[in-house]
A and B are shown apart, each in its own frame.
Chain A
Amino acid sequence: MKNDLTPPHTRGESIFVDDIPEPENLLHAAVFASNIAHGKIANLDISEAEKSEGVCRILIAKDIPGENQIGGVIQDEELLADEVADFIGQPVAIILAETKKQAREALTKIKITYEELPAIFDPREAAKKGSLIAPSRTFTLGDVDSVWEKCATVVEGRADSGGQEHIYFETQSALAIPGESGRITIYSSTQSPTLVQRITARILGYDMNLIEVDVKRLGGAFGGKEDQANPWAAFCALGAYHTGRPVKLVLGRTEDMQMTGKRHPYSTDYKIGLNEEGKILAFEADYYQNSGASADLSTAILGRTMFHATNVYYVPNVRITAYPCKTNLAPFTAFRGFGAPQGMFVMECALSHAADITDIPISVLQKKNLLEEGDQFPYGMRIERSQIKRSFDEVVLNSKYEELKNKQEIFNEKHRFTKKGIAIMPVCFGISFTTTMLNQAGALVHIYTDGSVSISTGAIEMGQGVNMKIRTIAAHALSININRIRIESTNTTRVANTSPTAASSGSDLNGKAAEIACTKIIERLRNLVSEKLGSGLITIKDEIIYSEGKKVDITWEELIWLAYTKRINLSAQALYATPRIYFDKKKEKGRPFGYHVYGTAVTEVTVDCLRGTYVVDKVHIVHDAGRSLNYLIDIGQTEGGLLQGIGWMTIEELVYDNGKLLSSALATYKFPDLHFTPEIDVTFLEDADNPEAVMKSKAIGEPPFMYGIGTYFALKNAARSFRKDKEWEYSSPLTPEKLLLYLHELE
């Protein structure tokens, strides 16, 4: 038990795909991609590239033995563009060469011509032209149409939010190694090994059992490797299939940024109605999601936008309609929050707008409309065990919000160009995949004859600490020292049919599956001891075995050895499926979530109104982590999520020129660095046990991201104390450019 199983990250010994010792005979792949946004491929000439030094083989669409189709939810995406290219960065050909350099050099020798077709980049234009990925969806509650008249205030406006690049530090990567009888083993940086397995099998025309996918860990993912890890793995497998040699593909940063999807940009029209006291009576919105050139996960993401359209507020009359708009950009994809941040942003814009019109302070409007126990969401679910009011009140108290606000007003009066701002951001986030079938997870637990434990689940470790959490859960379930427990790589031959590690659900689902599997073995061990002693209630606590509360003279190791000699099964497999959840897509009603996570943030900022620059000074958070499984991990998820959210609202900007991404390197796409990081003060709610999840914990991955939205409104608050005569445009990210143009541009 001397194993220190802390991952060797600080020693640089953790293995990522590109760190796996290269097998002999390895080929390196490079991707040749479309450089026009929309066009028929008139001529693709690879003859010269084939002759290039070191090139072994070049693969194009017709080299795919199975289906040229990688669409997961909707089958509308080719692995390699065959006749038509739909976006800049869409893969057209794969070069396999002896070295990475040779593969890249050959890229320049491929010749391609197109017949250009009209391209669309704006989701509203796409909707107008009927260019949709799937039909629009509408949620309704009450009857908005009859209520507008009764409202004391009705405001309408438009809110736009921009896309966001994941910047997982490890770029998309895969290594495929051919084995005997057609087997291909793929090491992939994916959140969803089963998806890689399924798509690769489809591409090769294989049974899934020929493909083995193994994932040790990811160097970050944030949703960007949920659906979008598939093509790179499929390319490697296709290369291995054709050449019989191992193939590796690791995208360079700019390739990754140009070829892969990001968070969806949205443009939304909203209308909100309030009574005289500021109670929201009605909310209506049309969301235009920029889905990109194919579906990817867009429809599911759009669904979550709708589920979170009213955020933490009770609105009795709601009608929201959402359009997944097909454009000629790389298919947008999952990113922490999965559409919810885009939905919540609109709601906060509407409220902020209403506060400006009614002159009721925004914090009063927010507080007045917080969900009460039993209130209904537009999708029919009623709120249970809400922690929203607690978190709201606590953070207002902890941060001394009112005092800060007064101080800021005085400060702002005294300073001409330096203005301070503050905002509250309450969050309510539903936990479960909204696609109900995905809420399942498997685990396989072995206890070896020396008492050590090996656990495999469907969870992918990507920095979020799921392995540590599963160890904690298993150590608790087995009641043994955590150092006896090792978490294995995620492998499709050990745990099959896994859901992606996504939707914040990794520990909830896989932890629970591991717990069930551990419990099965513990049951067998108890029965064994019980049989041995003749009778009695057997319990195991901290590796000590008790019969009727009396210590039995047998160690954990001895017990396991005894079980082995008695031919007891020391392995167990289990499946966990979240109970009580359902959703009726026809009625658009149901109970899609196991539970909700709550929390509130207060953000303080300072704006330099002469230069249009700003500093996020401090963020206070009171968060509902249930009974936290691991304080350090959950704090880290809260702080990390927050900073990504702040980045999304402020400096992270996708800049395109006619469909070509200009901000395609870290020199041009800026995200928060050390100096940009505010002081962060996180408190977890006490006594917030959650009966709906493993060990009374709560999921943590996504909800904190949305605290970042508060930064936008704190900046608005500061900017408005410099200038009020100009109408505020609700458009994020609020870059220094947008801010300066607001502050100083003439009407």
Chain B
Amino acid sequence: MKFILNQEIIEIDEPLGSSTLDFLRNKGVKGVKEACHEGDCGACMILVGKLKDDELVYRAVTSCILPLGEVEGKHVVTIEGLNQKELNPIQQALVDTGGVQCGYCTPGFVISLTGHFMNSELENDNILTAIEGNVCRCTGHASIIRAANLLSDKYSSVKESKQQWTKALIDVRILPSYFSNIADRLRELKKTPQQTKGRFIAGGTDLLVQNESIENPVFLSEMNLANIWSDANYIYVGAMANTEKIRLSTDLNKVLDIKNHLFTVSSLPIRKQATIGGNIVNASPIGDLTIYFLALDADISILNGETSRIIKLKDFYKGYKILDLEKGEILEWVRIRNEEKLFSFEKVAKREHLDIASTNSALSLTLEGKIIKDIHLSAGGVGPIPMHLDKASSFLENKKIDASIIKEAALIALTEISPIDDVRGSAKYKSLLLQQLIYAHFLKLFPEMEELI
């Protein structure tokens, strides 16, 4: 496979399912640092650029959990590829504000900040979102936040020059001049067709945490499965749509406040890598997207060659990591009804951002007068599978909404679950938390009930 590493086209014959970070460091690219090897710290951040509709787009990615095959035909930028003779304005700002102490996490921050200015498709303009996937243990972040805000003030106008953004960034020295012909060079790179048999990889953000390398990877990103579209009845989310794409989807935001709901679901680089299909098929009992769509009573389509079948998402899970999925089958899309419902998503983790929930839960319902209809309650982290709480949901169906009913439903929910003591909390805590999250759902939707709970 071929890709452009900074300025240089390289051709390699390495296992495609191995970690991009490991490859880069073995190659002697030492500005990319390893600190956690599971996408949690951002020390290994790189920029990956590709042509999308013939336009150059970049995103910051934690290279540790990026399978090498994913960079084929793309432009990989490490700190070495941003360095110029003098410090660039981003590097200088970090120095000037004291945003650099031991220096180990620093290249990662420079990369993410650079990505902020390059990322014209990013709707959320807050520069701090760009560095939320980077952690620093020395500075307490305050000085880095000062640097980021300084840069945002000074260079945000550069972002607005959408057509000529590479040139604009070269002019202010955020990018070195070789970026001006990267698009042309990428057009010339030929991709080799990938093998068709092996292990399917969606985003790979959990697979490469659990495994050092994936044997015979088949990259689903090569298939055209990332679209989000709608018709009169349904909104369809392609299995390879990433979390950030889902978060910002116009179709979904018409019926859900999904833009805000998914903000605490991992950091931006991970949101742009992790897909809904990966989340669902990974079958983690605590998967945020799975819990979210379970409460929306989603259907899923499973593809087997030319044929496909549609089942309820909640029927997909048969036991811990046991799925209704045959060999060779892949998830094609997830769909929800194209209608507005009362909806709430709750997630509590030790750390609000970039953390796996102790318990998460979602709820959807409609009201006919005061009568609850079509209610679906889901919960994660409280059993071996992502749970649709059937009993609590059916108990509430057709009931008149009031506080005592909600309390009773919460008690019923607690009989459906089987949480265990683990690193994310005690079983006792998870039960209590689920009860509180169920209250939270209803209090958000019906604030007038506050006095009753």
Report the Cα distance A680→B439, complex, angstroms.
34
Is B103 part of the binding interface, using a Cβ–Cβ cutoff of 8 Å? yes
Residues of chain B contacted by A736 (CB below 8 angstroms): 348-350, 358
Q: Is the CB of B440 within 8 A of A611?
A: yes
A724 → B minimal CB distance (Å): 19
Report the Cα distance A235→B437, complex, angstroms.
50
Give the segment of B105-113, B173-181, B309-317, B364-372 that binds chain A: B105-113
Q: Is the CB of B423 within 8 A of A610?
A: no
Q: Is the CB of A640 within 8 A of B101?
A: yes
Report the Cα distance A130→B87, complex, angstroms.
59
Is B37 part of the binding interface, using a Cβ–Cβ cutoff of 8 Å? yes
Q: Is the CB of B139 within 8 A of A674?
A: no
Q: Which of B40, B41, B87 touches A11 (beta carbons < 8 Å)?
A: B87
Residues of chain A contacted by B95 (CB below 8 angstroms): 6, 10
Given A11-B87, A666-B36, A737-B358, the answer on whether A671 and B432 have CB atoms closer than 8 Å is no
Q: Is the CB of A671 within 8 A of B137?
A: yes
Binding site secondary structure of chain A = loop
Q: Is the CB of B145 within 8 A of A677?
A: yes
Residues of chain A contacted by B415 (CB below 8 angstroms): none
Residues of chain B contacted by A167 (CB below 8 angstroms): 137
Contact with A along B325-368 (1 / 0, CB 8 A): 00000000000000000000010111111111010000000000
Report the Cα distance A105→B66, complex, angstroms.
22
Q: Nearest B residue to A14 by beta-carbon distance? A: B103
Q: Which of A10, A169, A680 touches B41 (beta carbons < 8 Å)?
A: A169
Q: Nearest A residue to B29 by beta-carbon distance? A: A12
Q: Nearest B residue to A678 by beta-carbon distance? A: B142
Is B207 part of the binding interface, using a Cβ–Cβ cutoff of 8 Å? no
Is B303 part of the binding interface, using a Cβ–Cβ cutoff of 8 Å? no
Q: Is the CB of A673 within 8 A of B354?
A: yes
Interface centre among A168, A635, A674, A745 (most CB of B within 10 A): A674
Is B141 part of the binding interface, using a Cβ–Cβ cutoff of 8 Å? yes
Binding site secondary structure of chain B = loop
Q: Is the CB of B350 within 8 A of A735?
A: yes
Interface size on A, residues (CB 8 A): 73
Q: Is the CB of B38 within 8 A of A666?
A: yes
Q: Which of B32, B94, B142, B212 touches A10 (beta carbons < 8 Å)?
A: B94
A153 → B minimal CB distance (Å): 34
Q: Nearest A residue to B429 by beta-carbon distance? A: A737
Residues of chain B contacted by A217 (CB below 8 angstroms): 102-103
Residues of chain B contacted by A14 (CB below 8 angstroms): 103
Contact with A along B20-41 (1 / 0, CB 8 A): 0000010010111111111011
A232 → B minimal CB distance (Å): 16
Contact with A along B423-444 (1 / 0, CB 8 A): 1111011001100110110010
Residues of chain B contacted by A633 (CB below 8 angstroms): 98
Is B151 part of the binding interface, using a Cβ–Cβ cutoff of 8 Å? no
Is B128 part of the binding interface, using a Cβ–Cβ cutoff of 8 Å? yes
Is B43 part of the binding interface, using a Cβ–Cβ cutoff of 8 Å? yes
Report the Cα distance A416→B448, complex, angstroms.
12
Q: Is the CB of A636 within 8 A of B103?
A: no
Q: Which of A169, A465, A610, A677 touches B443 (beta carbons < 8 Å)?
A: A610
Is B132 part of the binding interface, using a Cβ–Cβ cutoff of 8 Å? yes
Give the segment of A368-376, A534-542, A641-649 that binds chain B: A641-649
Is B140 part of the binding interface, using a Cβ–Cβ cutoff of 8 Å? yes
Report the Cα distance A618→B76, complex, angstroms.
39
Report the Cα distance A416→B128, complex, angstroms.
31
Q: Which of A9, A615, A670 touches B350 (beta carbons < 8 Å)?
A: A670
Q: Which of B40, B103, B143 touches A639 (beta carbons < 8 Å)?
A: B143
Interface residues in A698-747 (C-beta closer than 8 Å to B): 735-737, 740-741, 744-745
Report the Cα distance A672→B209, complex, angstroms.
21
Q: Is the CB of B137 within 8 A of A740?
A: no
Q: Nearest B residue to A105 by beta-carbon distance? A: B212
Q: Nearest B residue to A738 by beta-carbon distance? A: B429
Give the segment of B49-57, B78-86, B236-244, B379-387 that binds chain A: B78-86
Is A13 part of the binding interface, using a Cβ–Cβ cutoff of 8 Å? yes
Is A697 part of the binding interface, using a Cβ–Cβ cutoff of 8 Å? no
Q: Is the CB of A220 within 8 A of B87?
A: no
Is A19 part of the binding interface, using a Cβ–Cβ cutoff of 8 Å? yes
Residues of chain A contacted by B212 (CB below 8 angstroms): 101
Is B322 part of the binding interface, using a Cβ–Cβ cutoff of 8 Å? no
Report the Cα distance A644→B141, complex, angstroms.
11
Report the Cα distance A37→B36, complex, angstroms.
25
B433 → A minimal CB distance (Å): 6
Contact with B along A152-175 (1 / 0, CB 8 A): 000000000000001111110000
Report the Cα distance A462→B137, complex, angstroms.
12
Is B422 part of the binding interface, using a Cβ–Cβ cutoff of 8 Å? yes
B80 → A minimal CB distance (Å): 7
Is A253 part of the binding interface, using a Cβ–Cβ cutoff of 8 Å? yes
B88 → A minimal CB distance (Å): 9
Is A632 part of the binding interface, using a Cβ–Cβ cutoff of 8 Å? yes
Is B134 part of the binding interface, using a Cβ–Cβ cutoff of 8 Å? yes
Contact with A along B86-127 (1 / 0, CB 8 A): 010011101101101111111100100000000000000000
Q: Which of A464, A611, A674, A745 touches B348 (beta carbons < 8 Å)?
A: A611
Is B257 part of the binding interface, using a Cβ–Cβ cutoff of 8 Å? no
Residues of chain A contacted by B43 (CB below 8 angstroms): 169
Q: Is the CB of B436 within 8 A of A680?
A: no
Given A10-B91, A169-B33, A252-B37, the answer on whether A674 and B132 have CB atoms closer than 8 Å is yes
Q: Is the CB of B35 within 8 A of A171?
A: yes
Q: Is the CB of A676 within 8 A of B33?
A: no
Contact with A along B403-434 (1 / 0, CB 8 A): 00000000000000000001111101100110
Q: Is the CB of B79 within 8 A of A11?
A: yes
Contact with A along B237-281 (1 / 0, CB 8 A): 000000000000000000000000000000000000000000000
Interface centre among B104, B140, B425 (most CB of A within 10 A): B140
Given A219-B104, A655-B423, the answer on whether A10 and B439 have CB atoms closer than 8 Å is no
Is B450 part of the binding interface, using a Cβ–Cβ cutoff of 8 Å? yes
Residues of chain B contacted by A610 (CB below 8 angstroms): 436, 439-440, 443
CB pairs A–B below 8 angstroms (12 shown): A166-B137, A170-B35, A220-B101, A611-B348, A640-B138, A662-B422, A672-B141, A673-B354, A675-B353, A677-B140, A735-B350, A745-B428
Interface residues of A (CB under 8 A from B): 6-7, 9-16, 18-19, 21, 101, 166-171, 217-220, 222, 252-253, 416-417, 462-465, 610-613, 615, 632-633, 635-636, 639-644, 651, 653, 655, 662-663, 665-668, 670-677, 680, 735-737, 740-741, 744-745
Known interface pairs A610-B440, A677-B141; 13 further A-B residue pairs with C-beta atoms within 8 A, sorted by A's residue number: A12-B79, A169-B33, A169-B41, A170-B35, A222-B137, A253-B35, A463-B103, A632-B98, A672-B351, A737-B426, A737-B429, A744-B432, A745-B432
